[in-house]
Chains A and B, each alone.
Chain A
Amino acid sequence: MHARRADKHAWRKTKNVLVSAATFLSAVAVVAPLALVFFHLVMNGASSVNWAFFTQLPKPVGVIGGGMANAIVGSLELLALASAIGVPIGVLGGVYLAEYGSARANSTLRFIADVLNGVPSITWGVVVYGLVVLRFKSFSGYAGGLALGLIMVPLILRTTEEVILLVPNGYREAALALGIARWKTIVHVVMKTASKGIITGILLALARIGGETAPLLFTAFGNRFWNHDLAEPIAALPLQVFTYAISPYDDWHRQAWAGALVLVVGIFCVNVLVRILTRERKPSIV
């Protein structure tokens, strides 16, 4: 009798240790890739991240050196264009979902936005290829920006809606009770209160699309030269990394590593910015 109870006790302890170990290993498995990726990128890419990388154009095959200046600027142009499309539509749509509309229609819209958030990004590239590239018979910066912007819309829409719903109703009532019009209440009181959350959502969406390659493959297409005409194919950092990585040349491989490192560091910085913003957000929404 006694012995059996002791046995059970030992087995229970063993189970406890096993499961604890399993959860610990799972946690490591989550964190390890980030550390490995970053370490690997630094090892392979850091040596090629130099002044030339940020200031020079890609050199022809066989010529050592050169950089990705056009791809970095092109990426920024694409992000700006995508924001011009994605931010207003996403933010206004999120405000509509949170403040207007019938419950039934809104839950449908919400469902659609969630489905769109799950659509593989290459699909957006194909859609824009069909809608824009084929029609105008040219790859272009516009097409790339549109593809990225379309990815942003549902992301920003859902985060905006969520942070606006977080604003306590008391503020809306206080403003409306002052005889302030509904739309002014929403813009000057509700959106202002939720502004840090909205900006956070926008930054996270930017970080997400900043590294997208697939939707740009048959829209922005890539370019080895400077191009500021958005109606022409334009270079982008992830595209350039992709092109260089599948090439057979060692020097291009090094450049691809450097490009990937710059991209990851950029996205990391955006995420740090988001952390700073969200940390300050707490006290403002009581």
Chain B
Amino acid sequence: MINLIMPSPDPVVLERRGDAVEASPETEEIALTFQIKNLSVWYGEKRAIETVTMDIPSNAVTSIIGPSGCGKSSFLRCLNRMHELVPRTRMDGTVLLLGQDLYSADVDPAIVRRRIGMVFQKSNPFPTMSIGDNVTIGLRLNGVRDHKFLNERLEKSLRMAALWDEVKDDLHKPGTSLSGGQQQRLCIARALAVEPEVVLMDEPCSALDPIATAKIEELIHELKTQYTIVIVTHNMQQAGRVSDYTAFLYLGKLIEFGPTTKIFTNPSERQTEDYITGRFG
């Protein structure tokens, strides 16, 4: 069983996905990573998300699209409790990760975030740390001391982020010395190093040029064999290219959710079609 409740005494043991995929009974056809029911979020008086209900399948890429301010990022941040960092935020509804309520009172948000990695819009490698330290910091600050283990995980994470060959001789150089696209892949490696089960990406390519974007998209494609990925993007072509499922949010409401091919070719909702075809947004 997955241990969400308290930090395990040995922090190296970050629970693996395989242990509990069968946890929810409804997963006969498609395994579900997230089950979200009636999720609402308020910032102060303003309601950012209104009663969203959707399931996010495992080992697939789900993209969240919609015009600016529709609640895409807020929705994503509810999945790893990052929205709680904003003062005066309130949420309602339930979010289940592999059948377990992320918001029940005895769940430590730090453990939630360890299981659900996140990549941000603006690449943010820690400026005081080297490339290598940036990748291993999550493990080291969670108590891992074993150098051999750290070095193995460093190489593995950088390889998964398709960055190893570019930086293997410069691991001691500052993380901020890399180019924008490399920095973003470094951030992906940093998120992967703690071996999360899910990777959330909040417009990971919006600050990158087309070549760097193509690299990240290729990477997303490879990562989905091992991870469940949820990506927020305001670039519909990108959603079409990388995702298996697409959710369209508008003014905080979930308008439509389904396989990407269906959303893009034959949407059931008029608003989705208008947005996809570029009539608004």
Q: Name A's B-contacting residues (CB within 8 A).
A: 103, 168, 170-182, 184, 188-189, 192-193, 195, 284-286
Picked from B142, B176, B194, the residue with its CB within 8 Å of the CB of A286 is B176
Beta-carbon contact of A170 and B122 below 8 Å: yes
User: Which residue of chain B has the shortest Cβ distance to A194 in the bound complex?
Assistant: B128
Residue B67 interfacial (CB < 8 Å): no
Residue B164 interfacial (CB < 8 Å): no
Chain B residues with Cβ below 8 Å from A176 are: 82, 85, 110, 113
What is the size category of the interface that chain B forms with chain A? 20 to 34
Nearest Cβ in chain A — how far from B109, in angstroms? 8
Beta-carbon contact of A177 and B122 below 8 Å: no
Chain A residues with Cβ below 8 Å from B117 are: 177-178
Residue contacts A-B, CB under 8 angstroms, 12 given: A103-B87, A170-B122, A173-B85, A174-B124, A176-B110, A178-B114, A178-B141, A178-B194, A179-B113, A179-B194, A182-B110, A192-B126
Nearest Cβ in chain B — how far from A282, in angstroms? 11
Chain B residues with Cβ below 8 Å from A177 are: 80, 82, 113, 117-118, 120, 191
User: Which residue of chain A has the shortest Cβ distance to B123 in the bound complex?
Assistant: A170
Beta-carbon contact of B113 and A188 below 8 Å: no
User: Which residue of chain B has the shortest Cβ distance to A191 in the bound complex?
Assistant: B128
Q: Name B's A-contacting residues (CB within 8 A).
A: 80, 82, 85, 87, 110-115, 117-118, 120, 122, 124, 126-128, 137-138, 141-142, 176, 187, 190-191, 194
User: How many residue pairs, one in A and one in B, have C-beta atoms under 8 Å apart?
Assistant: 76
Beta-carbon contact of A285 and B127 below 8 Å: yes
Nearest Cβ in chain A — how far from B144, in angstroms? 12
Chain B residues with Cβ below 8 Å from A168 are: 124
- A171-B126 CB under 8 A given contacts A178-B137, A178-B190, A178-B194: yes
Chain B residues with Cβ below 8 Å from A170 are: 120, 122, 124
Nearest Cβ in chain B — how far from A187, in angstroms? 9
Beta-carbon contact of B142 and A179 below 8 Å: yes
- Measured in the bound complex, the distance between the Cα atoms of B126 and A286 in whole Å is 10
Nearest Cβ in chain A — how far from B55, in angstroms? 23
- A188-B120 CB under 8 A given contacts A176-B82, A193-B128: no
- Measured in the bound complex, the distance between the Cα atoms of B138 and A188 in whole Å is 11
Nearest Cβ in chain B — how far from A196, in angstroms? 10
Chain A residues with Cβ below 8 Å from B176 are: 286
- Measured in the bound complex, the distance between the Cα atoms of B122 and A184 in whole Å is 22
Most buried by B among A173, A192, A193: A173
Chain B residues with Cβ below 8 Å from A179 are: 110-115, 138, 142, 194
- Measured in the bound complex, the distance between the Cα atoms of B117 and A180 in whole Å is 11
User: Which residue of chain B has the shortest Cβ distance to A184 in the bound complex?
Assistant: B141
Chain A residues with Cβ below 8 Å from B124 are: 168, 170-171, 173-174
Contacts A177-B118, A178-B194, A188-B141 aside, 7 further interface pairs with beta carbons under 8 A come to A173-B82, A174-B124, A176-B113, A178-B190, A180-B138, A192-B126, A286-B127
Chain A residues with Cβ below 8 Å from B138 are: 178-180
Chain A residues with Cβ below 8 Å from B137 are: 175, 178, 180, 188-189
- Measured in the bound complex, the distance between the Cα atoms of B49 and A247 in whole Å is 77
Nearest Cβ in chain B — how far from A172, in angstroms? 8
Beta-carbon contact of B120 and A173 below 8 Å: yes
- Measured in the bound complex, the distance between the Cα atoms of B114 and A103 in whole Å is 29
Nearest Cβ in chain A — how far from B140, in angstroms? 9
- Measured in the bound complex, the distance between the Cα atoms of B126 and A195 in whole Å is 13
Nearest Cβ in chain A — how far from B263, in angstroms? 28
Nearest Cβ in chain A — how far from B41, in angstroms? 17
- Measured in the bound complex, the distance between the Cα atoms of B28 and A85 in whole Å is 64
- Measured in the bound complex, the distance between the Cα atoms of B126 and A172 in whole Å is 10
User: Which residue of chain A has the shortest Cβ distance to B129 in the bound complex?
Assistant: A192
Chain A residues with Cβ below 8 Å from B187 are: 174
Most buried by A among B117, B137, B176, B190: B137
Picked from B120, B126, B141, the residue with its CB within 8 Å of the CB of A193 is B126
- Measured in the bound complex, the distance between the Cα atoms of B176 and A178 in whole Å is 19
Beta-carbon contact of A180 and B127 below 8 Å: no
- Measured in the bound complex, the distance between the Cα atoms of B175 and A170 in whole Å is 15
Beta-carbon contact of A180 and B120 below 8 Å: no
